[in-house]
């Protein structure tokens, strides 16, 4: 199952909904003010510290029918994927690449051409958009009285780059630790540790699949979905490695800590 979420400073978006909930709870939100030091401690949610992957694309209006499309190809997004989402007359096209960042415009143009050819991409009033992914499995997500959450802690899915759920969950766990005195590192490891481990191993495997491997992966996911085995589709094909071979995750983690 997947969700299409509207973001940004527009009515009905996730961001505006969370803002209103915070205001209703009495939170004092201060825009355009930065804090480089929190003497009494607190929660740090400052976003990623680097880029293990980047995404470039467009937001646009369209007359296309609703749909969700994904393409795995190093010609469109090296070691990553390109996708097109359309809902209610609005669309987003992105190329998420894990290598060769300096040629991002070339991959974006190829992605545009691909979706025009395959599904009749129609963009009206296109606006450029982009982002970055930084994934880690930190030894600790706190420094003294500072608790790091979401991208600031490296809590992103290493395979596909998703992170909103991790950001909200880790934010809740950090607040819980501040209020109750519980061990924040223990809380996030219990709730997120297994997911982050699996994603890091999956990224390591996916990185080595190359073009033919992408096809085999998609066929295996398709077969799994048709047979009702959503566990394989959701966690790729390496979940057993996490629990069946304790040496796999440390090797993968060491690799990405060296190269991140």
Please classify residue 128 by burial: count the beta carbons closer than 10 Å to its beta carbon, then call 0-12 exposed, 13-18 middle and 19+ buried: exposed
89 occurs within a structural domain: yes
Instruction: Give every residue of the chain whose pLDDT is below 50, as ranges.
Output: 233-246, 258-260
61 occurs within a structural domain: yes
pLDDT score for 260: 38
Closest CA to 203 of 248, 148, 168, 153: 248
End-of-domain residue from the set 98, 133, 168: 133
**Ramachandran angles phi, psi of 239, nearest 5°:** -55, -40
pLDDT score for 18: 93
113-146 pLDDT per residue, tens: 999 999 999 999 999 999 998 888 888 999 989 9
Structural domain boundaries enclosing 89: 53-133
109 occurs within a structural domain: yes
pLDDT score for 240: 40
183 occurs within a structural domain: no
Q: What gap in Å lies between CA 101 and CA 78, rounded to an integer?
A: 9
Tally of domains in the chain: 2
pLDDT score for 210: 75
Listed in sequence order, the DSSP H helices in 161-238 are 164-180, 184-207, 210-226, 230-235
11 occurs within a structural domain: no
pLDDT score for 137: 86
End-of-domain residue from the set 109, 133, 157: 133
pLDDT score for 39: 82
Query: Is residue 84 a contact partner of residue 91, using CB atoms and an 8 Å limit?
Result: yes
Closest CA to 242 of 204, 187, 185, 191: 204
pLDDT score for 216: 80
162-184 pLDDT per residue, tens: 889 999 999 999 999 999 999 99
Q: What gap in Å lies between CA 187 and CA 185, rounded to an integer?
A: 5
pLDDT score for 230: 56
pLDDT score for 259: 41
Give me the CATH number covering residue 67.
3.30.9.10
220 occurs within a structural domain: yes
Query: Is residue 60 a contact partner of residue 88, using CB atoms and an 8 Å limit?
Result: no
111 occurs within a structural domain: yes
Under DSSP, is residue 217 helix (H, G, I), strand (E, B) or coil?
helix
242 occurs within a structural domain: yes
What's the whole-model pTM score?
Answer: 0.81
End-of-domain residue from the set 80, 110, 133: 133
């Amino acid at each position: 199952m997947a969700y299409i979420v509207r973001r940004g400073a527009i009515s009905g978006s996730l961001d505006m909904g969370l803002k209103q909930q915070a205001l209703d709870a009495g939170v004092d939100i201060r825009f355009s003010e930065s804090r480089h030091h929190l003497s009494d401690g607190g929660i740090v949610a400052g976003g990623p510290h680097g880029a293990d992957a980047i995404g470039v694309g467009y937001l646009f209006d369209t007359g296309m029918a609703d749909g969700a499309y994904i393409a795995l190809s190093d010609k469109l997004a090296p070691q990553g994927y390109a996708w097109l989402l359309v809902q209610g007359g609005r669309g987003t096209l992105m190329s998420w690449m894990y290598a060769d960042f300096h040629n991002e415009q070339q991959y974006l143009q190829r992605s545009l051409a691909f979706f025009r050819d395959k599904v009749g991409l129609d963009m009206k009033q296109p606006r450029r958009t982009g982002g970055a992914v930084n994934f880690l499995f930190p030894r600790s997500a706190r420094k003294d009285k500072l608790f790091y959450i979401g991208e600031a802690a490296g809590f992103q899915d290493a395979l596909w780059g998703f992170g909103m759920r991790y950001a909200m969950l880790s934010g809740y766990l950090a607040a819980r630790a501040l209020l109750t005195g519980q061990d924040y590192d223990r809380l996030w490891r219990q709730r997120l540790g297994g997911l982050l481990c699996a994603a890091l191993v999956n990224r390591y495997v996916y990185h080595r699949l190359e073009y033919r491997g992408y096809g085999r992966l998609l066929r295996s996911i398709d077969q799994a979905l048709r047979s009702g085995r959503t566990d394989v589709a959701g966690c790729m094909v390496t979940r057993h490695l996490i629990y069946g071979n304790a040496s796999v995750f440390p090797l993968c983690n060491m690799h990405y800590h060296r190269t991140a």
